[in-house]
């Protein structure tokens, strides 16, 4: 019964929990959680994490398809691959943030400021 309950409800529990936290933050009923999640270092980290999530398939394809030797799956190969994928995806995420997202956000804030709106 425990395994069946976990399998049946685990995929549903995560989005319901996230929705509950989001609702509490948006409605102002969880100011401590909202303050923590709105803290600027966590916002930057979240943006970098999302960018790494977006670019990691490209990184994996690039690394895996650039080799001509057959892959021998082992613990060392998995550790080396994970480390290289993480490093390349993080570097690309940082470059995307610095070269695309941050300048676009600055231009948007400048444009909204000239219009007298708060961004």
DSSP 29: S
- pLDDT at residue number 116: 86
- pLDDT at residue number 119: 57
Domain housing 2: 1-38
The answer on 89 and 55 residing in a single domain is yes
The answer on 90 and 54 residing in a single domain is yes
The answer on 77 and 53 residing in a single domain is yes
For the stretch 46-83, pLDDT in tens is: 999 999 999 999 999 998 888 888 888 999 999 999 99
The answer on 12 and 50 residing in a single domain is no
The answer on 116 and 91 residing in a single domain is yes
pLDDT level of residue 97 (50, 70, 90 thresholds): very high
Q: How many residues does the chain have?
A: 119
The answer on 88 and 98 residing in a single domain is yes
């Amino acid at each position: 019964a425990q395994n069946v309950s976990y399998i049946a409800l685990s995929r549903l529990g995560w989005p319901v929990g996230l929705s509950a936290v989001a609702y509490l933050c948006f409605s102002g009923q969880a100011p401590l959680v909202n303050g923590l999640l709105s803290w600027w270092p966590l916002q930057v980290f979240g943006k970098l994490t999302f960018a790494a999530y977006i670019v990691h398939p490209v990184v994996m394809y690039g690394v895996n398809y650039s080799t001509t030797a057959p892959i021998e799956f082992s613990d060392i190969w998995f550790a080396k691959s994970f480390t290289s994928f993480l490093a390349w995806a993080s570097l690309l995420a940082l470059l995307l943030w610095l070269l695309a997202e941050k300048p676009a956000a600055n231009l948007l804030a400048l444009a909204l400021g000239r219009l007298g709106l708060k961004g």
